[in-house]
Chains A and B, each alone.
Chain A
Amino acid sequence: MSLPARSNALHFGVLALMVVLFFVLPPYYAGNLSRIMVLAIYAMGFNLLFGYTGLLSLGHAMFFAAGMYGFGLPMAHLGVPLVPAMFLGVLSAGLLASVIGFLALRTSGVAFMIVTLMFAQAIYLTILYFSTWTRGEEGFVIQQAERMVMGIDLTSANARFTTAFVLFAVTFLGLARLIASPFGRTLIAIRENEERTRMLGYDATRLKWQAIVVSGAVSGLAGAAYALLFGYVGATFATVQYSIFPLLWVLLGGAGTTIGPLIGVFFMFYLIDISSSYTNAYMLIAGLALVLLTVFAPQGIAGELRKRVATWLP
């Protein structure tokens, strides 16, 4: 098989596997799939910037939150219907990313990490400051009655899975396509050697800014989808913890691979889920597993696969 054919087979195979899992797994595990897929959208957005462009943001929670609040606030306070609200969520995150990207790209390396971290903290504090509307830490619930599209109740197990699956599939295939496009290849070139890319006539700063905007918008889509499917909008999702999660998922799953983010979310989700059923000190077990994986598979699960088994992995 040619390379594009192989990666198509892989991507459609992964999607088919998700559908099969939904039907064969017991209800609890099948239900988890929706959450995993939504978080994987977030991880994929982060991966575009970190794994493919080589920019480490420590503030991606601000884009997740922008999507969440950009979706939830207009619904709760202005009565905006669900579908336009979803677009507003993605748009808010994309706009925020374009401004933050413009400012943060004046720095690079460690300074870029600190600047994104600080901006995210500022956004978090802004959410708390406007608690009249955002209800701060406590957050607000999006009523079941509002979570309907064309008479379909999105809170039912099937509809929730379908919604998460469609959003996941679109993002997954869309980003895979983006990575294979000239734009994506140039982002990889920037990750590999920015100075060389610049001296081949590419406007590296502009390309990095575009990557931040796409990455932010995809993360915002995940935030909006999370609020939509689980009916809750809260400031917790804007905390540092939610900036670190995508980094862990992507590192575990394999940075700079298309399937890494999904694998990473799966792995972390069940690592915590299973270990917490045995002990209260589940974070200790999770931490240990993370350390072992970093030592023995520093490129993440899909990264190791690419190195040892399938060098063609996109």
Chain B
Amino acid sequence: MHPALSIVFFTTASGAGFALLALLGLGAPLGLLPEGGWFAFVALAAAIALAATGLGSSVFHLGRPERSWRAFSQWRSSWLSREGVFAVLTFLPTAVFGIGWVFFGATRGFVGLCGVIAAALAAITVYCTGMIYASLKPIHQWHNNWVVPSYLALGLMGGLLALDFLVRLWARYAGGLALLSLVVVVVAWWIKERYWLFIDTTSARSTVASATALGSRGRVRRFETPHTEENYLLKEMGFQIARKHARRLRRIARLAGFALPALGSLAALVLSGAPGTVAAGLALACAALGLVIERWLFFAEAKHTVTLYYGADAV
């Protein structure tokens, strides 16, 4: 599948943004976060900016962005519509929670409840993002049980690393947060490795024979394509990445997305003060790079059944 940069950026940024929002919505009522309006303002602004610019960037992907409001209508059947609905719904309790927390320093009662509701809605939004891909049967690399856990775990990982860094900027050593980040990075890494193992060792049930209903005489293979130049189908669904490049990019994603953030979180766990902040900041920066590469690969390595009609033997 063609890795459109707007979607790669959207899914990574909004995943981390909604996770950060959820962590703030849960952390503030529980009294686990630094006091004071400035932390609340900066942290919430970061979360909302990540989530909202992600959503905004997905609108650029549309052929008719001015009609995007129509996407809220089909939540009964469409995961994309559900994602849009929950993304917008998340911002309602977030507004109450944000105003109460930033301007009035309130984290309990109704404001705290709004934080918890925002956290739940943010989690549902990221779940919907994952389901958009997991529900597409023609793409074996997406239609499997590792996709939604990946989206949730990688989003949570980004949100946790961002929160750990922000908390340290307010000169608070948060051992629990660093430990939690470390655990989530390791879990997310494990899920991603299982995902990669799954797509490397399995392929779709559909073959060129089932796609053409041929094969009674033996092996089916492409003889001629319908057109000599590219078309929309090949541009959008026929994207191919050389195995060599995929392997190299996976190594980079592994290193930047998981190994270095894990090391950074480990360092942040034992360090306090400025060194701890630097470690947490580096962990976040590496993870951001690694997650964008991971998401690019998620598209680039996905094979659509339509390529069976254009010469692919298996998808």
On whether the two chains bind one another, the answer is: no
| B residues whose Cβ falls under 8 Å from a Cβ of A | none
| A residues whose Cβ falls under 8 Å from a Cβ of B | none
